[in-house]
Structure 1
Amino acid sequence: EAETFYTDRATFQAANPGLALEDFESSLWPPGSGVLMGCPQPAGSAGSSGCYNPGDLLPGFSMTSPGAGTPGQELVIVDGAAGFGTPPGVILGSNTFTASTRVDFNPPVAAVGFDVVTVLGGNPVSINIYDAAGALINGQTGVPGGAAGSFWGVDSDTPIAAVEIADPTTADVELLDDMEFGNPIPVELQSFNVE
């Protein structure tokens, strides 16, 4: 059993074609709104009050912030127009410096990749992946962040039930953009039609 880590989205996509893409843009706050607002956890297909309506986010994942402070504002939604130098559009993640950002997958997935955004200090983060029993599969430290975002991805022979992103210095929040997840679909099957 092994994992392959990626720092380039195109290489990740070539190795893992056909994954679902959650760009977090379908919020109650459209790109360009300049929103910077706390959201309750979890955020997933059931919504997140004040930030996402039910059905706005794709099914199959749920985002939380273990260790977050203010109840009902554990997550934060940030738009690129808010003035922090973040990518255009909407990003989502932990609202507390001392907390982490966690994404749980149900069902577990073979691959996940996303842009890691650390808004304030641009600190590198640590990322751990877990199996369905909650056991650590693998992890990486020193993963680049930064206000503009930096791609990180992994595929694994062991199904991934969760990924947790943390700034070990606890001086920044961890936000995600353009998350791809699921089980790869070979290119030759992506346009397969039964007649």
Structure 2
Amino acid sequence: MKNLLTLLIAILFASIDISAQYAESWTDYMDGMPMPPGQEIGNSRDINNNRSATYYTDRTMFQAANPGFPLEDFEAGAVLPFQVTGCDEPMNDASSDACFTPGGLIPGFSLSTFEGIRAGCPANCPLVILGDGLIGNADIVVGPNFFGDTYLITFSPPVSAAGMDLHVPAAETFDIVITDGNGMTTMTTASATPAGTFWGVECPELIASIQLISPAGAGELIDNLEFGIN
């Protein structure tokens, strides 16, 4: 009887969802829940072996190949250091919420979640901006509030190249999906770190959107977004 009771207790504890111990959003994190663990950093690679795409891990080299592109640093965002502000989607130059006022961002891009299932602020903000220092970031960074959501960057009009700093609470490798104006996709990966790691791409077919996916579900964030047409 004692052995049976011990077995039942073991089964009960094994059935508990360990993931529930971790934050599922930046809102949870600010309420005191720990971040999900990251995954090991890997090198940027092209999963589809699309040799026509050129990838960059150095911003200086990216800018030399794509001079004069506008840059959005998100420093107009309304957030204090080490704090989080919830934002509605899409986030663009027309945004008018707790994060940005109209004209606070440069035109030509929109940030949103790929799923688009969040009800909106204040109870269920789909996006957030993080203040300086919260995860080791020197400046404001932006991304989805819920870690399981996919980050979607849309360009209007489409662009030939884009570059950005990739941030994440614990260093890992992002999956990245690049979609051109014809709906064709290329998949690649790139390293992301708390302090930010530069990643850029240049394609012969104009880029309509870029999806950023954290396999660890740890929250994708970006800063210093550059884009344009050569």
Alignment TM-score, normalising by the size of structure 1: 0.85
Gaps of 5+ in 2: 1-50
Separation in structure 2 between the aligned mates of residue 6 and residue 40 of structure 1, nearest angstrom: 31
Could you tell me which amino acid in structure 1 is paired with residue 227 of structure 2?
F
Aligned residues: 176
Gaps of 5+ in 1: 185-195
Structure-2 residue corresponding to 1:111: 161
Is 2:163 the partner of 1:134?
Answer: no
Could you tell me which amino acid in structure 2 is paired with residue 22 of structure 1?
E
Separation in structure 1 between the aligned mates of residue 106 and residue 167 of structure 2, nearest angstrom: 20
Q: Any conservation in 2 of the 1:68–1:95 contact (CA below 8 Å)?
A: no
Cα distance change on mapping 1:33 and 1:163 into 2, 3 Å: same
How far the C-alpha of 1:93 sits from its partner, in A, is 0.8
Query: Helix, strand or coil: the match of 2:193?
Result: coil
Question: How far does the alpha carbon of each residue in 1:40-61 deviate from its partner, in whole angstroms, 9 at most, with x for none?
Answer: 1100010151101110011000
Q: Any conservation in 2 of the 1:103–1:163 contact (CA below 8 Å)?
A: yes
Structure-2 residue corresponding to 1:151: 198
Is 2:101 the partner of 1:45?
Answer: no
Given candidates 131, 147, 163, the residue that maps to 2:210 is 163
Separation in structure 1 between the aligned mates of residue 96 and residue 213 of structure 2, nearest angstrom: 22
Query: Helix, strand or coil: the match of 1:12?
Result: helix
Q: Any conservation in 2 of the 1:40–1:71 contact (CA below 8 Å)?
A: no
Could you tell me which amino acid in structure 2 is paired with residue 2 of structure 1?
S
Query: Helix, strand or coil: the match of 1:44?
Result: coil
Query: Helix, strand or coil: the match of 1:124?
Result: strand
Computing the radius of gyration over CA atoms, which structure comes out larger, 1 or 2? 2
Query: Helix, strand or coil: the match of 2:172?
Result: coil
Is 2:223 the partner of 1:177?
Answer: yes
Could you tell me which amino acid in structure 1 is paired with residue 221 of structure 2?
L
How far the C-alpha of 1:70 sits from its partner, in A, is 4.1
Could you tell me which amino acid in structure 2 is paired with residue 135 of structure 1?
M
Given candidates 93, 101, 109, the residue that maps to 2:151 is 101
How far the C-alpha of 1:33 sits from its partner, in A, is 3.7
Q: Any conservation in 2 of the 1:110–1:157 contact (CA below 8 Å)?
A: yes
Q: How does 1:22-61 map to 2 (within 5 A)?
A: 22-29=72-79, 33-61=81-109
Separation in structure 2 between the aligned mates of residue 26 and residue 159 of structure 1, nearest angstrom: 28
How far the C-alpha of 1:71 sits from its partner, in A, is 2.3
Separation in structure 1 between the aligned mates of residue 62 and residue 208 of structure 2, nearest angstrom: 19
Could you tell me which amino acid in structure 1 is paired with residue 135 of structure 2?
F
Separation in structure 1 between the aligned mates of residue 204 and residue 164 of structure 2, nearest angstrom: 19
Q: Any conservation in 2 of the 1:84–1:147 contact (CA below 8 Å)?
A: yes
Structure-2 residue corresponding to 1:19: 69
Q: Could you say which structure has the higher strand fraction?
A: 1
Separation in structure 1 between the aligned mates of residue 135 and residue 178 of structure 2, nearest angstrom: 28
How far the C-alpha of 1:169 sits from its partner, in A, is 2.5
Q: Which segments of structure 1 move beyond 4 Å, counting only runs of 4 or more?
A: none
Structure-2 residue corresponding to 1:189: none
Q: Any conservation in 1 of the 2:74–2:105 contact (CA below 8 Å)?
A: yes
Separation in structure 1 between the aligned mates of residue 174 and residue 53 of structure 2, nearest angstrom: 19
Could you tell me which amino acid in structure 2 is paired with residue 173 of structure 1?
G
